[in-house]
Amino acid sequence: MAETKGVLLPAYVVADESGSMGPYQQELSHGLASLCEGLRAEPMIAAKLRLAVLGFSDDVQVRLAVADMRTETTLPQLTIRGLTAYGAVFDDLLSRIPADVQWLRDQGYKVHRPVVFFLSDGQPTDRGSWQRPHARLTDKSQTPTAPNIIACGIGDAQAATMVKVATRPEFAFVAKAETDIGQAISEFFHSLTASLVASGHALNSGSPQLVVNRPDQFTMAIDEV
């Protein structure tokens, strides 16, 4: 039997590219650049991760396929376009994540449960139809590679929606009402980078775990009952 090369954590950044994000494209670009630079500055940590960046609106576009950030030189760029179809995200991940995990296994790696960092500034324009593919994606009996999803809402995104998107209540966050959207985007990427670095350190320990940091200027999302 071939020797295992190591154990990896696949991490997906899923960013809203809908028209309402247009005024904040610079913050999105700076955030992605900061994320990539932050991982490259931690090569021992980056070795434990594989990063992908997806942009979504009416559909999903790959801005960075699953990559080793120690050697990846491309800086992903998001493109503002269309509406806010959450269903497109979960339909895409239903096929993408199992295929990526199998590809990594074929490369000789073991794979930790993937993590998705989801950022949106709006309510889903496909209304409730996104919930069916989301349910399939997050049901481990149907999708053995079901990811952990961290959901961050800014702008018009509502707390109740983020709670539904996140796979655990403590993984759902919304920006405080008084927070500027551009600042919230910057805080999201800062927290994302810190979470991946901390998770990478934890993967090197005897008790590997996913570490999720709450972005500054965000609160834990709480829905109504």
pLDDT tens, position by position, 43-89: 999 999 999 999 999 999 999 999 999 999 889 999 999 999 999 99
pLDDT tens, position by position, 87-122: 999 999 999 999 999 999 999 999 999 999 999 999
- The pTM of the full predicted model, rounded to 2 decimals, is 0.96
Average pLDDT, the chain: 95
The full set of domain ranges for the chain reads 6-223
From CA 108, how far away is CA 212, in angstroms rounded? 27
Which residue type occupies 122?
A: G
Q: Which residues contact 11 (CB under 8 A, 6 or more apart)?
A: 49, 50, 51, 52, 114, 115, 116, 117, 196
Q: How many residues in total does the chain contain?
A: 225
CA nearest to 49, candidates 67, 61, 65: 67
DSSP state of 50: E
Domain 6-223: CATH class, spelled out? alpha beta
Provide the token pair at 111: 């794979």
H or E segment to which residue 31 belongs:
helix 25-40
Provide the token pair at 5: 């090369």
The whole-number pLDDT of residue 1 equals 58
Angle (CA) 35 39 43, round 5°: 170
Between 13-22, 132-141, 185-194, 203-212, the lowest mean confidence (pLDDT) is in 203-212
pLDDT tens, position by position, 132-161: 999 999 999 999 999 999 999 999 999 999
Q: Are strands 172-175 and 109-111 parallel, antiparallel or unpaired?
A: unpaired
In percent, the amount of the chain with pLDDT more than 90 equals 89
- List beta partners, residue 8: 111
